[in-house]
A and B are shown apart, each in its own frame.
Chain A
Amino acid sequence: AQTVTQSQPEMSVQEAETVTLSCTYDTSESDYYLFWYKQPPSRQMILVIRQEAYKQQNATENRFSVNFQKAAKSFSLKISDSQLGDAAMYFCAYIENNDMRFGAGTRLTVKP
């Protein structure tokens, strides 16, 4: 069974600075999809960014980018120019056969 590991339960960053959240996963498949979701206090999960494993180019969405290392099975999220609204729980997720598995999450605090 695939597993997703987020080794940082909590992270903090100064407003306008950059922070990187780590994620590793375990799979024997070669084609799969990876996601980062954000869960603010409102509880609603929001997709931040998506990466397709067959694409070597790292996905980017505005201030959010990933560092996808397929051989190392690593999928980290970089948030640039952090804003107060970025404060939330961040979940790394892996999907295979319509079964999405999540990491334990990283709580990000943004300090003004």
Chain B
Amino acid sequence: KAGVTQTPRYLIKTRGQQVTLSCSPISGHRSVSWYQQTPGQGLQFLFEYFSETQRNKGNFPGRFSGRQFSNSRSEMNVSTLELGDSALYLCASSLAAQANTEAFFGQGTRLTVV
């Protein structure tokens, strides 16, 4: 069974550009969450989707957005990139809607903004 797949693994963008990151969850998983990981701020929750609906959102500006498709694949978009957006972006999927189900993480996308 394939794990959570994030593409691309590495990305370099220029300030002001926009970027789209992709996450394919484990087959059958309907919940997808996104996290930003930086040395200074640690792991911060971005948003969570279940059955194409955003159920929860972290404290990030509107430049950060996401969506989930009918096949549970998810994308997150960051517009007007800033240097501070450089981070490892992690995606996690879980089977069910309940909070106690295990979240499986992808290997992340390393975004560098120059």
Contacts and interface: CB of A to CB of B under 8 A. Distances in A.
**A and B physically associate:** yes
Interface of A: 32-33, 37, 42-47, 50, 52, 91, 95-105
B42 A44 contact: no
26 contacts: A33-B100, A37-B105, A42-B107, A43-B88, A43-B107, A44-B105, A44-B108, A45-B90, A46-B105, A47-B103, A47-B104, A50-B100, A50-B102, A52-B100, A98-B31, A98-B33, A98-B48, A98-B56, A99-B56, A99-B58, A100-B33, A102-B35, A102-B43, A102-B44, A103-B42, A104-B42
The 9 closest A-B pairs by CB, nearest first: A45-B105, A102-B43, A104-B42, A33-B100, A95-B99, A99-B56, A44-B107, A43-B108, A98-B48
Contact of B106 (A44, A95, A98, A100): A44
Contact of B45 (A44, A50, A91, A99): A99
A97 B33 CA distance: 12
Interface of B: 31, 33, 35, 42-45, 48, 50, 55-56, 58, 88, 90, 92, 97, 99-100, 102-108
B43 A99 contact: no
B69 to A, nearest CB: 19
B107 A100 contact: no
Contacts of A95: 99-100
A111 B105 CA distance: 28
A108 B46 CA distance: 26
Contact of B99 (A33, A42, A46, A104): A33
A98 B88 CA distance: 21
